[in-house]
Amino acid sequence: MSTISCRFARLVGRVRDEERGDVPGWVLVTLMTAGLVIVIWTVAGPALSGVFEQAIARVTSF
């Protein structure tokens, strides 16, 4: 193998290793985002429902 092809093989290997290490990070970000949405929806859900019902009542009263 030539020196250039050895360097290229090492570079490609490093890039693949870096990409593999990033997957758990994306999984963690996705799970944390889903958890935040669930918590916020649980806390703000009733208030948002009340605001929506008031808005619909005002619109239908015209």
Check residue 24 and give its pLDDT.
81
**Looking at residues 29-49, what average pLDDT do you find?**
95
Look up tokens 């935040």; give the residue.
Answer: 36
Rounded Cα gap, residues 22 and 44, in angstroms: 33
Q: Assign 33 a pLDDT band (cuts: 50, 70, 90).
A: very high
Tell the residue number behind the tokens 């090492």, with chain if given. Answer: 10
What number is the average pLDDT over the span 22-47? 92
Contacts of 9 (CB under 8 A, 6+ apart): 1
CA dist 50 and 28 (Å) reads 33
CA dihedral sign, ordered 50, 54, 57, 59: negative
- Residue 44 pLDDT greater than 90, yes or no: yes
| 61 or 58, higher pLDDT | 58
> Please, which pLDDT band fits residue 12 given cuts at 50, 70 and 90?
low
